[in-house]
Structures are given as structure tokens and as C-alpha cells.
A and B are shown apart, each in its own frame.
Chain A
Amino acid sequence: MGGGGLMSASALLKLTGLYKNFGGVQAIQDLSFELAEGELLGLIGPNGSGKTTAVNLITGFVKPSEGEIQYRGRDITGMAPHKIVRLGIARTFQMVKPFYQLPAYKNMIIPLYSPRVKQLAGGKYGDRDAVALDLLEEVGFERDSFVAYKSASVLPQGYLKRLELAKAIALQPDLIILDELFSGLSLAEVASIVPIIEKLRLEGKTIIMIEHRLKELFRIADRVVVLNYGEKIAEGQANDVMQSDAVKKAYLGAEA
């Protein structure tokens, strides 16, 4: 499936020569890659290799020092983050960011209040509470258990990650960026979230996954990009990439 990524003309997202330095630290150096519509790209690399910075650059939370980001052929470099979301790019945060004072389903009201949702619905909002409960059920808040009515402050990590995913899905994005969605989850929890991601793919969503759980990622990813010290050191099919000497060295440290 997929694989190639040679579709320059139809690329959904295109990063060209991105640089980002924080003070003297080069967080991202000359990063370029493309993403075709409907593709699932894994973004991997050791801790501190610049994966989250790359996501922050794409979503506009951090402005690049140099380089260009194109989405659907449009230059979105340096655009305000809320405007990028309105174009159809949604993300989850590695450190979950729920509204702790609110019950889970009320957390969903915020993305459902988004101008993007209003625009896609033809200028009118629906019954937000009902939509919120439906979306939460989709990501595994069992309706019988009333867990959707519990305050976010008492929910276990597994549910907070699901809530984070549901908040991204609520925006009806075309590109979803999942920043370490699986971290801190048990194998069983990961296994229950994978079908949700596969369902999103069937719906035609394009997905970028940052992940340390490589085994789970490789099962669903079309292609991976490997970062180390802010530089792209490999790109391609998961199995090929892991055979590369540069990747082995980055992950295992010493000469491999």
C-alpha cells in the first residue's frame, strides 16, 4: 500500500528546507518531506530529535527560522495556529491537555464550537452535547458506563488520550497529527485504539503519527521519516529504514 510518496503535484503537505533554532540549539535542520493525501506517515526518532518541534512547526505553534510549509499547495508558513486548524489540520498533544474542571463530554464542546465545525455544517451548529457523546463513544467511552460524564480530573490516562483523539476528530480534519498517542498506554489499550485509527484511514484522513512504540506503528504506517538531532536521517518503508546504518546508530547509540 501507498509507500512511494513521489506525488509532488498532489502532495497534501510539503515541508521544504525547514530550520528552527531555539537560541543556540538547532532543533530542526534542513527538514524536507512530503505527504500524500490518505497516507499514514510515522515520524520517529530518539528522544529530543525534534519530532514534536516538527509538529509545532506544521501546526503553527512555533514559527520556523527558515523554510516553507505548504498545505494543499498553499503557503502556511508562519500562519497563526488557529487559522491552520481551520484549514483542516488537527493535532493531539503528547502531554494531554484536557480542561480539568469539566466533565469529559463538556471538554468536547470546545472543538465543537470551532469555526471550522460551524463552516462545515453550513453556518449552523448542531446539538453539541449529543454530538459530543457520539464522538466519545466512537473512541471508546462506553455509553453504558457514563464515563463520559466524569470530570476530566478523575479520568485515567487511557481515557484522557482517547479524549484528546476525540477532540481532534471533532474538528473533522483532513490531516490529523497524533503526537505520541500510545505513550503511557497498556498493550490492551493500544490494541483498542488502533482500530479507531484504521477507521479514520478508511474515511480518507491523512495521518502523521509520532511514536516510540515502533512495533505498533510499523503495522499501520505506510512510510516513516526518521529524525535525529533535528535532521532527517532516513525515509521510506518501515523495514527498509530500520535496516539503515544511520538509523541503527541513532537508536542504539554506538556502532551497530
Chain B
Amino acid sequence: MKKRKERIDRGIKARSGDIFALSSWREMLYLAAPRLIPIIGFLLLPLILGVYWQKVLLSVAVFALMAISWDILAQTGMISLGQALFFGMGAYASGTLNHYWGWPPLIAIPIASVIGGLICTAFLLPVLRLRGIYFSMVTLIIPLMLVRIVEATKIFGGTEGLTGIAALPSRWIELYLIMGALMAALFGLRRMIGSDYGLVLKAISDNDRSVINAGINIYWYKTQALFISSCIGAFAGAFMTHVYMFVGMPVFALDYSIMPIAAVVVGGPGTLAGATLGAFILVPLSELLRGIGGLRIVFYGLFLVVFIIALPEGIFHYVQRKYHQFERWVEVD
């Protein structure tokens, strides 16, 4: 007697799928909880954490934004191995605005996000026609190249970097600015991905010739996705510049390219929520492992490998399925 696993939508999912959602608090809570819990969490976490873990939270939010940025590109069929380019461009843009012209952080950060986004888009525009690994290779190379350029030409402070950059007004403004940005990016872009516009982006990654065949200019849509993604990455970089009060060559480090990918892989691609969830797991884990010193990266890598094998769909897809469906074993003969 063989057995087969059967998945069935929960009754509450069907009941809350329509106007019947208004029938009781339970149904309404079922719909609202997936949004309310993260929102309340984002707002309360800074209050209950100590100073050290607040810093970790800051880092989590920055990497979550980077992962969201990566996920949007990936959804459009562009696998980037150089998120550090976006991060670094935003960081240098904001650092320059503040260091040379004295613009206050709260003005420099948004403007640097847009400038950084524009520069990155311009950099990658010529390679938008490349697909798959060829696009990835170029994104990997550009940040490495920029590091050497800064080093060789000694622009923007060369190897020393730019120091004495103004900090944000207070720790609380810092925390709530980044949490607010994360919430806005997460929920706003989730809505975008779910819309018909998002469908076009996904279709490009699925089958670009078929999208061209609908009279849609895929390069224009890819450019838009690239701009949105690089603006988010640049924002993260610009923000961190004012947290560290320094910008230098480390902003193009490989960490900023690899960590977002790991976060999306752990969390689950395609939903942006998965990317956020991934960052919320990986960054604190990396902090906790700091205690074991040199072997840290080994354990970290081991965790990733076990994870990819055991739950390749990512945590978010798994949790989402459990939330909406139940499973049971049925006999087949």
C-alpha cells in the first residue's frame, strides 16, 4: 500500500478569499496577520533591543534591502553578482555630497539614492542585452574594477576614503529611517511584483522572445527594473555611509554582493518577503557565530549548504504553504 501526500487549502483560506472575510474576526485576522506581524515587529524591535543588537538590526535591514534589490533584478532575469556596485555607488554619492558640499544626511541620502541608481543603470545599460552568466560576469567585474580605479587615481580620498562624514541626528532616527525604508520597499515593491507590470518583468525572465513578440520593448522594462533595483541598493549604501561616518573602498567588498544572494536563497526567491526573512536569519546568525572565531565561516557555509539541500524552495514559500494549506497522507493503490 503506497501513500501519497495531499495538500488541501485550509477552510479559512477559502472563507477569507471573498467578501466573507468580513464574517468574523478570525477570518480578518487570518488575512491581516501576515502583514501586521512584520509591521509591528519592525516598529517594536528597536525598542526592546539593547544597543549592540540595535546595530545588528540596522545591519539586518540594510542587507534585507540589498536582498530585495537583488530579488527584483533576478525576477527580471538578471542574476547580479555585483550588488556591491549599487551599494558602493550610493555610499560614495552620499559621502561626496556631504564631504565636499556639506549637504545634511537627510537630504544627501535620498539624492544619493537616485544619483547612485542613475550611475549604476548607465554602467549596466550596455550589457542589458547579455543574458544569464554573461550578464552576471560583468556585474561581478565592475565593482572590482572600481576599487582599483579609486586606488590608482586617488579620487574620493583614494585608499584613505572620505572621513568626517556627518552622522544622522540620532540613533532612533537612524533605526526608524531604515526600518521605514525597509517596510516601504517590502510592501510597495511586493505590490508592484504582484501587478500586471510585475508579471511583464517575470515574463521577461521566463521567456524574453515571447515578450518581445507582444510588442513590448524588453530593454526598456529591464532598464526600469535595473533602475528600481539600483536605487534601493544605493539607498542602503548611502545610509550606511552616514552610520559609519566614513566611505572608502570597502563599500565595494564582495560581502555586499554575496550576502544578499544568500539571503534570497535561504528566504525564498520571488516574493521579496523571502529576501527580508533571509536577511533576518543570516545576519544575526553571522553575529552569533562571531564567538567561535576562525571557524565562523565554516559553520556559516555549512548552514547554507544544509539549508539549500533541505529546503530548496526557501523558508518563506514553506511557511506560506503551511499557512494556507494542510497536508495529509492518503493511500493509493
**Taking beta carbons and an 8 Å cutoff, which residues of A are in contact with B?**
59, 61, 80-83, 85-86, 90-91, 93, 97-102, 106, 109-111, 113-116, 128, 167, 171
Contacts and interface: CB of A to CB of B under 8 A. Distances in A.
Nearest to A119: B215
Of the four ranges (under 10, 10 to 19, 20 to 34, 35 or more), the interface on chain B belongs to 10 to 19
Contacts of B210: 93, 97-99, 110, 167
Given A61-B209, A113-B196, A101 B202 contact: yes
B216 A110 contact: yes
A82 B218 contact: yes
A110 B212 contact: no
B214 interface: yes
Contacts of A97: 207, 209-210, 213
Contact of B203 (A59, A110, A116, A171): A110
26 contacts: A61-B209, A80-B217, A82-B212, A82-B214, A91-B213, A93-B209, A97-B207, A97-B209, A97-B213, A98-B207, A98-B210, A101-B202, A102-B202, A109-B200, A110-B200, A110-B211, A111-B213, A113-B196, A113-B200, A113-B214, A114-B216, A115-B215, A167-B210, A167-B213, A171-B214, A171-B215
A101 B216 contact: no
B194 to A, nearest CB: 11
Interface of B: 196-197, 199-200, 202-203, 206-207, 209-218
Nearest to A90: B213
A116 B214 CA distance: 8
Q: Which of A86, A91, A110 has the most CB of B within 10 A?
A: A110
B201 to A, nearest CB: 11
Contacts of A86: 215
Contacts of B207: 97-100
Contacts of B218: 82
Contacts of B214: 82, 85, 110-111, 113-114, 167, 171
B213 A113 contact: no
Nearest to B217: A82
Contacts of A114: 214-216
Contacts of A91: 213
B206 to A, nearest CB: 4
A80 B216 CA distance: 11
Contacts of B217: 80, 82
A82 B215 contact: yes
A116 B196 CA distance: 16
A102 B215 contact: no
B209 A101 contact: no
Contacts of B212: 61, 81-82, 85
Nearest to A118: B215
Nearest to B202: A101
A198 B154 CA distance: 71
A95 to B, nearest CB: 10
A99 B206 contact: yes
A128 B313 CA distance: 30
Contacts of B206: 99-102
Contacts of B213: 59, 81, 85, 90-91, 93, 97, 111, 167
Contacts of B211: 110
Contacts of A102: 199, 202-203, 206
Nearest to A128: B196
A218 B211 CA distance: 32
Contacts of A81: 212-213
A109 B199 contact: yes
Q: Which of A82, A93, A116 has the most CB of B within 10 A?
A: A82
Contacts of B209: 61, 93, 97
A106 B210 CA distance: 14
Contacts of A128: 196
A28 B227 CA distance: 40
Nearest to A80: B217
A53 B271 CA distance: 39
Nearest to A115: B215
Contacts of A116: 215
Contacts of B216: 82, 110, 113-115
5 A-B pairs with least C-beta separation: A85-B215, A97-B210, A111-B214, A114-B215, A99-B206
Nearest to A106: B199
Nearest to A87: B215
Nearest to B208: A97
A237 to B, nearest CB: 31
B113 to A, nearest CB: 28
Contacts of A85: 212-215
Nearest to A125: B196
Contacts of B199: 102, 106, 109-110, 113
A58 to B, nearest CB: 13
A99 B215 contact: no
Nearest to B207: A97
A96 to B, nearest CB: 9
B196 A109 contact: yes
Contact of A99 (B196, B197, B202): B202
Contacts of A167: 210, 213-214
